[in-house]
Amino acid sequence: MAIQNIVVFPGSFDPITQGHVALVKRALPLFDKIIVAIGVNSQKKYLFSLEQRLEWLEETFQDEPKVEIAYYEKLTAHFCKASNAKYLLRGLRNASDFDYEKTISQLNAIVVAGLETVFLISEPQYSHISSTIVREIIRGGGDASPFIPEAIKIDL
C-alpha cells in the first residue's frame, strides 16, 4: 500500500464556520486524507457539546470521502503521530493568526520531529469569520446562518 499524505485540521469547531469548510475544500487536492479533528480541552467552556460538533462535522463533510472526522484529548502533535499524519493544516486570516500559528507550529515540530504545518491564507470573503464571533452572534440571538454551513441548524 502506498504511503498516504495525511493532514490533521484541528480545532474546537464550536461551531464550524464557512471559513473552515472553505479551507478543507481547498486542501482536498493536496492530501490523500484530511482528518478534521476536534481537540477537547477540559479547561475550556464550549457553547456546543462534543457530540453536537462531531455530528455537524459529519453532516458537513458527508460527501467528501477523503475527509475523516475525529476528536482527541491532550496534544495535537501526539494525535497527528498516532494518526500517521505528517502535516497539520491551519488557516490564516490575518497577521495576528500568523504570529500565533508560527509559534505553535515550531513547538509542534519539536514535540513530534518532522511534523510540518501547512498554512492556507483565508479567502477574503471568509477572513472576518471566526468561531468566537459566530458564538457571540448566537448568544446575542442574532442570525448566524451566513457564517455557518447549511448542515448546522441552531435552535436557541
Question: What residues are labeled active site?
Answer: 20, 44, 93, 131
**Contact (CB, 8 A) for 18 and 149:** yes
CA atoms within 13 A on the CB side of 139: 11
Ordered strands of the 6-11 beta sheet: 67-73, 33-40, 6-11, 87-92, 116-121
Q: Measure the CA angle with vertex 147, ends 146 and 153; round to 5°.
A: 80
Is the CA virtual torsion 52, 54, 56, 59 positive or negative? Answer: negative
Can you say whether residue 106 is alpha, beta or left, with left for phi > 0 and alpha for psi between -120 and 50 degrees? alpha
